[in-house]
Structure 1
Amino acid sequence: MKIGFDNDKYLAMQSTHIRERIAQFDNKLYLEFGGKLFDDYHASRVLPGFQPDSKLQMLLQLKDQAEIVVVISAEDIVSNKLRGDYGITYDMDVLRLIDAFQGVGLFVGSVCVTMYTPAPEVEAFENRLHTLGIRTFRHYKIAGYPNDVARIVSDEGYGKNDYIETERPLVVITAPGPGSGKMAVCLSQLYHEHKRGVKAGYAKFETFPIWNLPLKHPVNLAYEAATADLNDVNMIDPFHLEAYGETAVNYNRDIEIFPVLHAMFEMISGQSPYQSPTDMGVNMAGNCIVDDEVCCEASRKEILRRYLKCLCEQKVGGTVKEERFKLELLLNQAGLTVGSRAVEQQAHARSEATGGLPAAAIELADGTIVTGKTGPLLGAASSALLNALKQLAGIGPEVELVSARAIEPIQTLKTTYLGSKNPRLHTDEILIALSSSVSENEYAAAALSQLPKLKGCDMHSTVILSSVDSDTLNKLGIYLTCDPAYEEEDRKYHKK
């Protein structure tokens, strides 16, 4: 795939910049870490070349200086709030994060429970952490937060919070998801450090929006598309423009809260180290784009993907999703139209050629597009997947990778014994059938070895695929979109 982002440069530049920021203060920096650390697939899609674990790899370059504090809200523990991408509760995700950090050699110092109120669920969670040898601290609700600065920056506000004992110069504050209270933890720590005579600093690490790209750059528009459900809006930072005469991009929530933060900094330490919300950031991603057009094109595709995903969710849920209108506005700003991509056009052409049956198409890295149709043995997605592997392996279309004789027993298992109404093989099933043919079929072995080359390829289906198919394609790294339509439009519910 074409590369638009220099990942090695990013790792070196980002870690160096954070070290410089640590040195600006009393060798103590609280770094609010936004976004996903281990699996930032949005960034890897819109900045081709950015690795999903780049932020983690950057932290590993600082691991001797860094320690992690994981933040979770007591309200999220009590409500069993779920992470949509993993399907686990926030408290379980804290344990997952601790395991993941420690597994790569990063030091997890403690967990902070914010918005603390006594509850059996919270106490059980804290006890579990204590059993595992993880220290816990409590931060409390503050009346008038965030506007009553005088109360917040006092012994009645931050002063009532536990002081989180830390050992290293760089304290990374992270959380299972938004709304956990990361920024409040950082500022509370600054208050306590100042009372102890330590002039600690605060900085924020968010990949998007990229502050030194234009406001309507496709990469920044793609960020708005990704957060359409939160109604985040990219804006020119007026404080940065006033202070330096330079245009910088930030987003509405940071800009709205900055006057309050500025006042808090002044009350904590006598003066604010920052003149704008952009000043607070340490993101160097914009300096590592090596091919702007590649990133622009990738971001335009991402906006389309987000829009089609929204339409499909709306179709499945049966209700209009509010973010749809925001996404339509972003489509217009980026000059995009649904159906303009070659992969969509080829999928629809194949469907029309087969009497309107579901079809799918995959665009390979060299621009070649292969299609798949619905047949008696395979669904359209499975057919397209096999055809793509054939194309990549240089295998002719007449070659049979998996025989009908091998597929039929699987169909019997599905329909006769497991009760499935759909006899056609899903993508995971055809891959298992393909792998079982390797020992007897050299072509199957050649095709199977091409699977890594599908990573980053675009795929389009003329109908909404089952969760089984979409999950398998996602694991292969294929960027899937679907028309918001069912194979059988007269059915009441969406069935696999």
Structure 2
Amino acid sequence: MRKLGFDSEKYLQEQSSYILERVQHFDKLYMEFGGKLIGDKHAKRVLPGFDEDAKMKLLATLKEKAEIIICVYAGDIERNKVREDYGITYDQDVLRLIDEYRGYGISVNSVLVTRYREQPNAQMFMAKLERSGIKVYTHRAIEGYPTNVEAVIGAEGFAKNPYIETTKPIVVVTAPGPASGKLATCLNQMYHEHERGNKTGYAKFETFPVWNLPLKHPVNIAYEAATVDLKDVNMIDNYHYEAYGKVAVNYNRDIETFPVIKRIIEKITDKESIYKSPTDMGVNRLKSGIIDDQVIQEAAKQEIIRRIFAVENDYKKGLADKETLRRIQVILEESDLKKEDRAPVLPARDYAKTIQKKIGNTNPQAVIAIELLNGEIITGRTTPLMDASAAAILNGLKSLANIADEIDLLAPMILKTIQGLKTDGLNSRVPTLSANELLIALAISAVTNPTAQLAYHQLSNLKAAQAHSTVILNRENEQTLKKLGIDITSDPVYLTENLYYN
């Protein structure tokens, strides 16, 4: 059983009351939500016990008072930027988010396409939204934003971008990912609200870094590792210390831009800002939910290790630069960690070496090791019948159901029929069954085979299992493992030299 270190209910109660307290200072509060509003899997991994939809459930308690504006950067739409945890593009994620918010009964005001320059893909996306009854706005980039305060506040700045009509006291501004223009949107709205005589304020709900945990706490270091491509660095908030004599942690971008943002807010409102530091702007009460710091620290350390594998893979694929790779390596070393501290890494590599020795060559061998929640390590390798992902899942389910290894869960004829469909019917050059195909075959077999049914019912027990692959997985297998709740990493090695099939 996985140890818990976080109490989501306790956290939600304190967080909700604190936001309501902040709202009382204004007629309307524009609240920038950083991180994932739904499906915050990073927080779930580093805070065992954290509900990945906690922020959404928090908003659901405030739904009578809140509405949402979703920002998406036009450039991210144009280049089909992908949200890695779901394997979908940012424009698709906006559609998913709208459906999710509606499911919670929270009003979606509109979608705002930021830094818009008539990009063709953005135009098609906007047309799709409008034809589905979703209000769409566009904001142009403001030259000199945010440092040229006079330009930002002037006729060619916020005044030129449209105002989004809102009706509720809390307006949540969120996005599929970072650098989507959330802060600029909040400030733009405050400008137009002030022009209309309304008293509005700004607050930021950023999950990480946790301002009242130590600078070098593993949870905060794991945030640095997760945002290494953005060059984010955790720092002591010097403004907060000077104002209150208390240590608070923030990150470089917020600290660097605070004086400018403070001036913009003061220019907009014609009064001195109530905020003396970037930490003041935040409303995060995450620390209140931590009930076992040792459990949290260990989980965060494991996340740091997972992140170096992710960056190494991205570098191999050409998605990360050398500076990002160097930075994540430094973070790992400074944390006094090594990749082999991840439990399934060595068993996977050792089994691959055993296969190499047995067949007499040094070609990469696809092996996946899964660490189950009971601590048992299960391995699976690619064979002519199924790939390593499918084999590891099947072997893991057998172990969880106490089914002997030599017992077949799937009839050979079923497997051969599927392989025939792939090669003959679908003209695939890869006859081996993938993880997804294996699960479909298992689900069908479970209808008539009681032993297969036993294994099938163990699927939920794979959640939070840790796995490692000796080769880079294709996207289909990676997403299937993630959907099962398995945290998968892989060595930055391609199975073959084939450019397309890798």
* TM-score above 0.5: yes
Structure 1's 80 and 347: CA in aligned 2 closer, same or farther, altered over 3 A? closer
Kept in 2: contact 1:236–1:248 (CA 8 A): yes
Which residue pairs with 2:483 in the alignment?
Answer: 475
Structure 1 residue 404: Cα displacement: 3.0
Structure 1's 22 and 409: CA in aligned 2 closer, same or farther, altered over 3 A? same
Instruction: Confirm whether residue 307 of structure 1 aligns to residue 315 of structure 2.
Output: no
**Deviation digits for residues 66-111 of structure 1, max 9, x if unmatched?**
011223445556x355344366665554444333322321112233
Structure 1 residue 47: Cα displacement: 1.1
Superposed, which structure 2 residues align to 1:29-428 within 5 Å?
A: 29-73=29-73, 79=78, 81-85=80-84, 90-91=90-91, 93-115=93-115, 129-154=129-154, 157-269=157-269, 270-317=271-318, 321-356=322-357, 357-428=365-436
Structure 1 residue 143: Cα displacement: 3.9
**Deviation digits for residues 433-492 of structure 1, max 9, x if unmatched?**
22222233211101110001101110112222232321211110101111222333xx24
Distance in 1, matches of 2:321 and 2:242, equals: 41
Which residue pairs with 2:459 in the alignment?
Answer: 451
Structure 1 residue 239: Cα displacement: 0.5
Kept in 1: contact 2:83–2:89 (CA 8 A): no
Moved more, 211-220 or 461-470: 461-470
Distance in 1, matches of 2:16 and 2:238, equals: 28
Distance in 1, matches of 2:319 and 2:147, equals: 40
Structure 1's 135 and 378: CA in aligned 2 closer, same or farther, altered over 3 A? closer
Q: 2:369 aligns to what SS in structure 1?
A: strand
Percent identical residues: 50
Question: Which amino acid in structure 1 is aligned with residue 17 of structure 2?
Answer: T
Kept in 1: contact 2:82–2:89 (CA 8 A): yes
Kept in 1: contact 2:311–2:320 (CA 8 A): no
Kept in 2: contact 1:6–1:49 (CA 8 A): yes
Question: Which amino acid in structure 2 is aligned with residue 310 of structure 1?
Answer: V
Structure 1's 59 and 403: CA in aligned 2 closer, same or farther, altered over 3 A? same
Distance in 1, matches of 2:128 and 2:418, equals: 45
Q: Which ranges in structure 2 are unaligned for 5 or more consecutive residues?
A: 358-364
Distance in 1, matches of 2:88 and 2:446, equals: 36
**Deviation digits for residues 252-296 of structure 1, max 9, x if unmatched?**
110110011121222233111111001101111122111212222
Kept in 2: contact 1:3–1:49 (CA 8 A): yes
Q: Which of 468, 474, 492 is equivalent to 1:484?
A: 492
Q: 2:448 aligns to what SS in structure 1?
A: coil
Q: Which ranges in structure 1 are unaligned for 5 or more consecutive residues?
A: none
Distance in 1, matches of 2:411 and 2:120, equals: 58
Structure 1's 349 and 245: CA in aligned 2 closer, same or farther, altered over 3 A? same
Q: 1:439 aligns to what SS in structure 2?
A: helix
Kept in 2: contact 1:265–1:273 (CA 8 A): no
Kept in 2: contact 1:237–1:248 (CA 8 A): yes
Kept in 1: contact 2:87–2:479 (CA 8 A): no
Kept in 2: contact 1:377–1:404 (CA 8 A): no
Structure 1's 335 and 197: CA in aligned 2 closer, same or farther, altered over 3 A? same
Kept in 1: contact 2:305–2:342 (CA 8 A): no
Distance in 2, matches of 1:314 and 1:128, equals: 34
Instruction: Confirm whether residue 495 of structure 1 aligns to residue 501 of structure 2.
Output: yes
Distance in 1, matches of 2:123 and 2:165, equals: 20
Structure 1's 164 and 225: CA in aligned 2 closer, same or farther, altered over 3 A? same
Distance in 2, matches of 1:141 and 1:278, equals: 27
Structure 1 residue 424: Cα displacement: 2.8
Q: 1:159 aligns to what SS in structure 2?
A: coil
Distance in 1, matches of 2:410 and 2:127, equals: 54
Structure 1's 466 and 159: CA in aligned 2 closer, same or farther, altered over 3 A? closer
Moved more, 68-77 or 358-367: 68-77
Kept in 1: contact 2:397–2:459 (CA 8 A): yes
**Deviation digits for residues 332-375 of structure 1, max 9, x if unmatched?**
12111122333112222322333354322111112111122343
Distance in 1, matches of 2:245 and 2:462, equals: 46
Structure 1 residue 43: Cα displacement: 1.1
Structure 1 residue 4: Cα displacement: 1.4
Distance in 1, matches of 2:81 and 2:367, equals: 34
Distance in 1, matches of 2:308 and 2:120, equals: 42
Structure 1 residue 177: Cα displacement: 3.0
Moved more, 114-123 or 367-376: 114-123
Which residue pairs with 1:15 in the alignment?
Answer: 16
Structure 1's 198 and 338: CA in aligned 2 closer, same or farther, altered over 3 A? same
Structure 1's 89 and 486: CA in aligned 2 closer, same or farther, altered over 3 A? closer
Distance in 2, matches of 1:240 and 1:28, equals: 25
Structure 1's 45 and 319: CA in aligned 2 closer, same or farther, altered over 3 A? closer
Structure 1 residue 402: Cα displacement: 1.9
Question: Which amino acid in structure 2 is aligned with residue 394 of structure 1?
Answer: N
